Structure 1
Amino acid sequence: MSAAPSHNNVFTTTSAVGVWQADPASYKLPHPSVALPVIKIVCYVLAHAFEELRKQGKDLAALSEDEITAKLMEFLENTLLKADGDPAKGGIPGFTKTIFRSVTRQSNAQSYNQQKVRPSPDLWFLLNYDQRPEVLPSYDALLVECKIVDKTSKRSAGPWYGDEGMIRFVNGDYAWAMTEGIMLAYARDSRTIADHLIPALAETARMATLKTQTLPVPVPFKALMAKSVCQETLHQSTHGRGFTYLENKGIAPDITLYHLWLRCDLQSGGAVTLQTPDNA
């Protein structure tokens, strides 16, 4: 008896939205959860790349958000991922092509209902779909939204980081196929998660807007804390979504957002012992 036909390369038109879309039988929504060790690898290499830029003499307190993010992406893709986890080549163990296809920046993408096309999160860590069957490869990624957070009102933890950043993961503009996302703050003026983000997110109106299920709590991560650019450890919060997927794929579940805050205001630092995510 012949094998059942594969749907992986079959495409069909979706009349409701008038675009080409993968055969609904070829993927599931949401995509499989990303394991915490993989998320930790991404956060670690972000912190490592950020610190390397500072060690190269980049004034991270003066650069724009786009300038920092562009430099991070180039280092992540051209140095760290190219080394495929080999420390002798400048790589980080665990940050390998077996897990990640590529790191890209501001890829345009459609919202969950395909009604909006816009520049989406600043960094895309595209996952290797050979290891993750039944996904939409173009949306199978850990997405990172980057924000400068400082003492100015236009870049505050609440209206800027929360209402203009986190909300996009909640309303289905970002990471709608996933159940995880990452918020990366380039922290200035001594801004911290404990003193600035958590109080802002705890405001009643913002709790409702962001459909907050749990406020940020620490995620133990010893290797990350060894990085001098980290004021505090990784945090995570949980948020409802509740929008309806196309193609009768059901209701979007909650999303977990990981909060990585890195310090821009360090001019120099002592030697830091290199640890890997395995030390988490």
Structure 2
Amino acid sequence: MAAIDDVYLHVIADGVVQAFEEIRQSATETVATGDETEVTALLEARLNRMIEEDQVWRQLVASVVRGKESLSFDGAHLEKRPDLSIHLTSRTRRFPLIAEAKIIDAARGEQLYCRQGLQRFLNGEYAWGGREALMIAYVRDGSTIETRLTPYLALPAQATNYAVESAPTSLGLGLYDASRTGHRRSFLYTHTPPPANDPGGIALWHLWVDASAAAAT
């Protein structure tokens, strides 16, 4: 797929964070203490309501689906379920913009975020037909991309493990913690001959939102 223009990705990032802020105010306890599935279900519902309420969002987003079944790049895995599939109005529904969410707290940190989140975009489980995807962190312990993700991906072993081509670069959004990283992908398409079988790299937009109880007060 052709890359999504950064202008549109910024609008989507803003919309996701706006929706999260609203559910944090309306469902403080769930956001601060619930599991990842509960928080993401609230986020999905709010993002879909925005289609009815926000004209700009409606022009860009057709629907948002949580846990939608999808195929891996080679069809070997039939029931991959990314956390959110954001179907865009100008893009085929076969290839939505994928968002994977993880909780960051005292027990769950950047290792899990990368191993069970980021990695899925590199091995062809998720977003194998696209050039970009979102990683969302529900942060409950004050962590930031600068203090946790950036130094972790700078470690030589992790830079290799996660095929880092570009380190976290601030998106300059100002109102929330957001960065972009670039990664090589470790698979080749099986349905097309070389050189078209190389998916190229992927840009991951990292949105780290404050899910602590204190943030809603």
TM-score (norm 1): 0.72
Q: How many residues align?
A: 213
Query: 2 CA distance for matches of 1:268 and 1:196?
Result: 19
- Does 1:144 find its partner at 2:99? yes
Root-mean-square deviation (CA, aligned residues, Å) is: 1.6
Query: 2 CA distance for matches of 1:121 and 1:113?
Result: 16
Query: 2 CA distance for matches of 1:251 and 1:268?
Result: 43
Deviation of residue 242 (structure 1)? 4.5
Q: Of 241, 244, 261, which residue of structure 1 is paired with 2:208?
A: 261
After TM superposition, the structure 1 = structure 2 runs for residues 35-184 of structure 1, keeping only pairs within 5 Å, are 35-59=5-29, 60-77=31-48, 79-85=49-55, 94-96=56-58, 98-128=59-89, 131-132=90-91, 137-152=92-107, 155-158=108-111, 160-184=112-136
**Which structure is higher in helix share?**
2
Letter in 1 for 2:13: C
**Deviation larger for 247-256 or 142-151:** 247-256
Partner of 1:11: none
The answer (yes or no) to whether the contact 1:105–1:123 under 8 Å persists in 2 is yes
Question: In structure 2, do the counterparts of structure 1 residues 201 and 118 end up closer, same or farther at CA, with 3 Å as the change threshold?
Answer: farther
- Does 1:217 find its partner at 2:169? yes
Letter in 2 for 1:221: L
The answer (yes or no) to whether the contact 1:241–1:252 under 8 Å persists in 2 is yes
Letter in 1 for 2:7: P
Query: 1 CA distance for matches of 2:133 and 2:51?
Result: 20
Deviations 1:9-59 (A, max 9, x none): xxxxxxxxxxxxxxxxxxxxxx01111121112211111111111222422
Query: 1 CA distance for matches of 2:102 and 2:141?
Result: 14
Structure 1 stretches of at least 4 aligned residues deviating more than 6 Å after TM superposition: none
Deviation of residue 220 (structure 1)? 1.4
Deviation of residue 250 (structure 1)? 2.0
The answer (yes or no) to whether the contact 2:28–2:216 under 8 Å persists in 1 is no
TM-score (norm 2): 0.92
Question: In structure 2, do the counterparts of structure 1 residues 205 and 118 end up closer, same or farther at CA, with 3 Å as the change threshold?
Answer: farther
Query: 2 CA distance for matches of 1:139 and 1:204?
Result: 36
Partner of 2:189: 245
Q: Which has the larger radius of gyration?
A: 1
Letter in 1 for 2:147: D
Deviation of residue 100 (structure 1)? 2.0
Question: In structure 2, do the counterparts of structure 1 residues 182 and 268 end up closer, same or farther at CA, with 3 Å as the change threshold?
Answer: closer
Query: 1:189 is paired with a residue of what secondary structure?
Result: coil
Question: In structure 2, do the counterparts of structure 1 residues 179 and 215 end up closer, same or farther at CA, with 3 Å as the change threshold?
Answer: same
Deviation of residue 84 (structure 1)? 4.4
Query: 1:145 is paired with a residue of what secondary structure?
Result: strand
Q: Which runs of 5+ in 2 are unaligned?
A: none
Q: Which runs of 5+ in 1 are unaligned?
A: 1-30, 86-93, 271-280
Query: 2 CA distance for matches of 1:199 and 1:102?
Result: 35
Query: 2 CA distance for matches of 1:43 and 1:107?
Result: 20
Query: 1:61 is paired with a residue of what secondary structure?
Result: helix
